[in-house]
Structure 1
Amino acid sequence: MSEEPKPRRRQARGERRIAQLLQAAANVFCANGYTASSTNAIAREAHVSPGTLYQYFPNKEAIALELGERLLHEMREAHGQAFVPENLALPLPELLDAVVDPMIEFNCANPAFLALMYGSDVPGRIAEEHDELHATLLTRVQEVIAHYAPTLSAEDRARTAGMTFAAFKGGLDLILAAPEGAERDATIAELKTLLLRYLSPLVEKSAEKPTEGYAEKPTEGYAEKPVQVPAER
C-alpha cells in the first residue's frame, strides 16, 4: 500500500501548528506590542512549549515576518475588493461604502496588523512592504479623486488623498477602540460622514469648472475606465 497519505497528514499537522502559533503571536502582539513580546509569551499563548515553537520558528522576528506576509497578502486582497473599476460608477456616498467597508472589515478582523506594522522594532522587510502598500493605497485614492474631481491639479489631488487617508486612519483607531455592536457601527457611520463632508465640496466645485484643457487618460489601477487628469502643457 502507498505511504503517501502519511507525509500529507504530517504536513497538514504542521500547517495547523503554524497557524496556531501565528494566531498566538497575533494575540500577543496586540496585547503587548511587537517590541515587548517574546517567544516565551507566544508559546504560552499557543499552549505549547518553547521547544515546540522553535521547531517551526527560530526567533520572534521569523514569526513576525511570516505573520506580516500573511496579513499584507490579506490586506492587498481587501484593496482588491475596494478599488475595482465598477465602483467608479457609484455616487460618492456609495463609493465610500464600497471602499471603506472592506478596509474596516479587514482591520477589525486582524487587529494585529496595526500592532505589528507600526511597532518601533518591526523587522525591516515588513516595514518596507508596508510602506509599498501604503504608497499603492495613496495612489488608488488619488485615482478615485481624479475621477470624481477631474479638475483638481495633481498637487491638490495628492494633498486631498493624503488628508483623506489620514482621516481614515484616525477614524480607524476610534473604530477599533469602540465596543463591537451599536457603538462601533455608529463610529463607522461617523467616519463615513466625515469623509463625505470633506470630499463632497471638492467634487461639487470640480463639477462647476469647465473641463476644457483636460485629457482623458486611463490610470493604471482603473484601466477599464478612463480617468480625467490635467493634460500636459
Structure 2
Amino acid sequence: MPEKQQTEESPTRQQRAEEKPRRRQARGERRIAQLLEAAASVFCQCGYTAASTNAIAREAGVSPGTLYQFFPNKEAIAVGLSDQLLEHWAQSHGRALTPENIGLPLDRMLDAVLDPLIAFNVENPAFAVLMHGPDTPGPIAEEIGTLHDTLLARVDEVIATRLPDLASDERARTANMTLHLFKAGLTLIMSHEGAERDAYIAELKTVMHRYLEPILEVGQPACR
C-alpha cells in the first residue's frame, strides 16, 4: 500500500528532529535564567564571598548537580550574572544619555539622566554587590574598569557638547568629579528605602545641580 503523501500540517521527520534541540536549548536558557536570578538573591543576602553554590541551587529549587551542568563554580555564576547586568546597565545608560536629554535645561537634564540610572540600581541590587563589593572576582573587576572608563568618557562628551570651548583638563576634571558625586550619592540611596531613599535622590540632584550649574549654565569651572 503506497505511503500517504505528507501534508503541509504534518511535520516531517527532519523537522521533528530539528525541533528537539531547540526545545532543549530553550529549557537550558530558562534554567540559566533561573539560576542567575537565584544567584542575584543569594549575593544580595550574603555577599559574594559568603555565598555558596549550594545556597544558589537551593534558592533556585534545583540540585547542586543541576547547577553544575550549567556553571562549573561560583565565579562562573557571578561572571554570567555580571554580564547580564552590564548588558542591562548599558541599555539604561543609552536611554539616559541621549542627545535629547543632554540638551535639556540642567534641572530637567538631571531628572532625565539620573532617574533611569538610579532605577536600574534599585531594581538590580546585585549590581552594586558585584560591581562595588570588596571581593569582586577578577574578570568582573576588569569589566567594572571598562564600565567606569566608558561612563566617564560619555560624561566628558556631554560637557563638551554643552561647553565646546571649555579647556580639556577642566572638562576631564569636571567629568571625573560628576561621576564620583553620582557614585557617592548612589551608595547612600541604595542603603535606604522608601521615603528616605526618595529624600536622598533629591539631595543627590541638588548637590549635582549646585556643582554643575556654575559650569554648564555660566561656563566657569566651579573649583580651581
| TM-score between both structures, scaled by the size of structure 1 | 0.82
What does residue 221 of structure 1 align with?
none
Q: Return the offset for 1:75.
A: 1.0
Higher helix share: 2
What does residue 33 of structure 2 align with?
19
Query: How do 1:20-169 residues align onto structure 2 when only pairs under 5 Å count?
Result: 20-169=34-183
Q: Return the offset for 1:93.
A: 1.1
Higher strand share: 1
- AA aligned opposite 1:199: L
Question: Greater relative contact order: 1 or 2 (C-alpha under 8 angstroms, separation 6 or more)?
Answer: 1
Asked whether the equivalents of residues 35 and 120 of structure 1 are also in contact (C-alpha less than 8 Å), the reply is no
- AA aligned opposite 2:45: A
Gaps of 5+ in 2: 1-10
| TM-score between both structures, scaled by the size of structure 2 | 0.85
Q: Return the offset for 1:53.
A: 0.8
SS at match of 2:218: helix
Percent same amino acid among aligned pairs? Answer: 63
Larger radius of gyration: 2
- Provide the rounded CA distance (Å) in 1 between the counterparts of 2:25 and 2:164: 53
What does residue 203 of structure 2 align with?
190
What does residue 21 of structure 2 align with?
7
- Provide the rounded CA distance (Å) in 1 between the counterparts of 2:157 and 2:41: 35
Q: CA RMSD in A?
A: 1.7
Q: Return the offset for 1:30.
A: 1.3
